[in-house]
Structure 1
Amino acid sequence: MCDFAADLRAPTPSAAAEMVSRPDADWQEEVRGWGERLAEAVIDFVEEKKRRLGDLAGSYVFREPGKMVEMSSQRVDELAVQLMRGLESGWRLRRQYVESLLGRWSALRPERRLRELSLRVRAAMDRLRAMGPEETLRRGYALVQSTDGKLVRKAESARRCGDLVLRFADGKLPVQVKGGRE
């Protein structure tokens, strides 16, 4: 505003502020315009809603509701008949399918096959159990673990840990590494 006062030769900063801002009448005119546009928008909105309400009131549904109910009732009856036919047909097809599956099932002799597979699974489980850590411990070996339960696989790791736990088949034993050869 100081520059404005200097450039236009306004006598005071207040006079410069008056030159920069719009007069109150301009602001009042703009607010009045906004009010008019808002009033028009409200009137248009109300008129549109009245028109739509009139359209709905004149529609077939409101003029003859009994016919709409009757037509809907007929359609429900038709759909019920179609549904019953479809269900009967579906049940018949499913029954035939199940009967054919049962015939094929009995031809496969599933009991014998299941028994054979069960024996194979048991044998595989026994082999896995024999290779597991518990069986290894029962054969006289021990597992070396750090105090937090991690497996120690190398001597260097054992030297770094210091405190260890030896796990045997019948329990655990804490040990401390005091040194060792490289």
Structure 2
Amino acid sequence: MAFEIRRVVTGHDDEGNAIVRQDEVMRSQERLPDYQAMTVWCTSELPVNNDESAFNNGEPGPKGQRVLLRIGELGPDAHSASVMHRTETLDYAVVLAGACDMELDNGEMIRGLKAGDVVIQRGTNHKWIVRGSAPVRFLFVLIDANPVRAGDRILGDDLANLHGKISPMPTPAQ
């Protein structure tokens, strides 16, 4: 179920002309059963520094200063691979291929997400449910955010359901 993408990273030469810094094929890795993903790029500071002297090959910086680009793919009928979880990030989830539903922790189901649809996750507890016989491929942009406040509660990361199940995500240089 692994997949590959081509990553082209641009930069500048000493005269300020655009150049290709990297041109490589990246291969996904299994993070959960029936879930493959790769981190394509991650920033190390905000605002991002595009100077050549600051080129960091997409290595993540400290929490609170990261924007992460990830591509992931859930296998057919892999709803058990996606578990309820919440992160301290603002996530843009773009369905690239396939069809799925999204379940929220209150049981609400968002049905019929398909290629081209976008979900904006604002620190909410959710899981993905693949529908059909084709895998679902996502493009995720995760931006570090402050924990959500709901009344007098602070809703931080909730990754307990992933504990012991998820494989670490290597950085692009790995």
Q: TM-score range by the shorter chain?
A: under 0.3
| TM-score using structure 1 length | 0.17
Q: Which structure has the larger Rg over C-alpha atoms? A: 1
Higher helix share: 1
Structure having the larger proportion of residues in strand: 2
**Higher-RCO chain (CA-CA 8 Å, sequence separation at least 6):** 2
